[in-house]
Every structure is written in C-alpha cells, then in structure tokens.
C-alpha cells in the first residue's frame, strides 16, 4: 500500500514539474492572444466547417510550442534560475529534472505543436511558430546577459502569437494580423520593463541586462515606458479605420491605452516600485481587454 502511495506521489510531483517547465500562466496568456487573433479573422465560419474544433486545435498547438520554448529557456538558464529566489524552484534549476529530460520534453512538445499547426491549418502558421520558438529560445534567451536590446528582440516572438493565430485563419496575412502584432509588440515594453524594474536586484544578480539604462531603474527607463505606451494610442485606432472593429471597441481600446499611459507617467513622476507594479498588473489586464473588445464588435 505504501509503495502505491509513494508511486502516486512521484507521478503527481512529476506532472507538477512538467507544468512548471511550460510556465502555464505565461503559456495560457500567449495562447489566449493567438486564439483571439484567430477568431478575429474575417469570414472564419466560411473558411472552417467547425470553428470551435479548430480553435481547440490552435490552442493545443500553441500551448505545445510555447511550452517547448519555455522548457528550452529553463534548460539554458538552469544555473541562472538557481541563483534567483523567484526561479530557484524550477525543476531543472532545482535538480529535480535533468537537462536531457528537459531537452527531450522540449523537442517532443515543439515538434508536436508545429505539426498540429501545419497539418490542420497551414504551413505558414507553423513556420511562424517555429521562427518564434527559435527566436525566443536561442536568440533572446542568451542575449539577456549581453545587452538590453534583448527586450527588443524578445518583443518579436512575444508578439508573433497574434500573427500565428491570424495566419492560421488567413494565410494571406492581411492587415488585421499585422495591427494585432503591432499592438502586442508595443505593449510588451512597458509590461516587461515594469517587471524588470520590480525584480531589478534579482536580475542584476543573475547578470541580466533588461532595462534600457545601464544604471537600472532611472528616469530614462520610465520615459521609455511612457513613449511606448503613447505609441499604442495611434495603433489602437487603426482597427476602427480599416473596418476591423466598431465604435464601442474603439472607445474601450482608447481608454485602455490612455490608462496605460497614465500608469507609465505615474512611474516617471514617482519613480517607485509600487508604480512599476501598477504598470505590471495593468498590462496583464490590458491585453485581454482590448482583444475581447475587438472580438465583441465582431460578434
């Protein structure tokens, strides 16, 4: 009886470690933006017999590819993760999972996810997914210790889920997909700099260079966040003018963009961690709000 209990506990712990390896909260957010972008494609019901089934398949493929990228990130950064309190309990960093096991998991999930996108949708979306995985795992991840330009490089795979979702429904990659890509691309700068501001000591200890100023949390860093949040405003009105959305979503998106600007200005004014934390939490809410607002007008 005790051996059965121990076996069950071991299986349960192994499942928990695999979940930590894919970073479920981050993966779900990535998949969410991809799925919403797919649902925003014009005439989706005419293109697919069963849109719901295809949405589930897209979510599964996206989850596998994202999980693979996150697994590679943890394998490559195992020594760095072990130093930082926030990441020290990750399975590879903590020694509960070998590097080889992490790589095997990453290869299997990445291959499966790309195959699902290519076979059930098109190879353009699969190619974009592969490019996103490669850019995140093998360019952005090591670059974080070299130069703060890593944030710019990382913003591309961070925004590509929107384009992947759009390409899955519209192989022509029309302007709507690029607008969604631009919104998510610009959103990442205040979002990520806020996180880097809060965890600056931890990141510095690990050798990460993620803030635009070498001196860390400075007025220059806060000003950059303000600039990128301001850029969201003109991009946010494009869906309305290209007929992608209506007046309701235009108002919601504009208010959300102004709110993000306000939070970034507050950081510039106060220069406090609590202001950076407000940006971080606001940015988590921002993305689903604008995507759901755009989808609302389509329904």
CA atoms within 13 A on the CB side of 225: 35
Please state, rounded to an integer, the average pLDDT across all residues of the chain. Answer: 89
Q: Quick one: tokens of 250?
A: 């235009």
For the chain, percent of residues with pLDDT exceeding 90: 63
pLDDT at 2: 46
pLDDT at 110: 96
Domain boundaries for CATH 1.20.120 within the chain: 174-299
pLDDT of 229 above 90: yes
- Nearest to 142, CA basis, from 64, 189, 67, 206: 206
> CATH topology for 1-173?
Tetracycline Repressor; domain 2 (1.10.357)
pLDDT at 85: 79
Predicted TM-score (pTM) of the model is: 0.90
> CATH topology for 174-299?
1.20.120
């Amino acid at each position: 009886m005790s051996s059965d209990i121990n076996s069950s506990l071991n299986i349960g712990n192994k499942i928990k470690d695999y979940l930590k390896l894919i970073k479920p909260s981050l993966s779900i957010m990535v998949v969410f933006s991809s799925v919403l972008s797919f649902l925003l494609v014009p005439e989706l019901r005419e293109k697919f017999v069963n849109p719901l089934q295809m949405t589930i398949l897209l979510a599964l493929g996206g989850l596998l590819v994202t999980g693979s990228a996150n697994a590679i990130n943890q394998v490559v950064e195992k020594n760095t993760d072990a130093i930082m309190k926030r990441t020290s309990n990750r399975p590879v960093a903590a020694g509960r999972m070998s590097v080889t096991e992490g790589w095997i998991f990453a290869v299997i999930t990445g291959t499966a996810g790309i195959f699902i996108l290519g076979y059930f949708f098109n190879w353009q979306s699969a190619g974009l997914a592969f490019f996103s995985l490669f850019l995140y795992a093998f360019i952005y991840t090591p670059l974080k210790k070299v130069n703060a330009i890593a944030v710019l490089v990382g913003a591309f795979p961070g925004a590509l889920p929107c384009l992947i979702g759009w390409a899955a429904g519209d192989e022509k990659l029309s302007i709507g997909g690029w607008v969604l890509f631009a919104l998510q691309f610009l959103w990442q700068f205040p979002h990520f700099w806020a996180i880097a501001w809060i965890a600056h000591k931890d990141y510095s200890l690990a050798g990460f260079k993620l803030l635009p100023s070498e001196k860390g949390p400075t007025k220059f860093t806060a000003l950059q966040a303000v600039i990128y949040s301001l850029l969201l405003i003109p991009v946010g009105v494009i869906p309305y003018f290209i007929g992608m959305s209506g007046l309701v979503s235009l108002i919601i998106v504009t208010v959300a963009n102004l709110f993000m600007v306000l939070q970034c200005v507050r950081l510039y004014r106060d220069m406090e961690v609590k202001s950076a934390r407000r940006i971080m939490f606001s940015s988590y809410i921002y993305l689903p709000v604008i995507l759901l607002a755009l989808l609302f007008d389509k329904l």
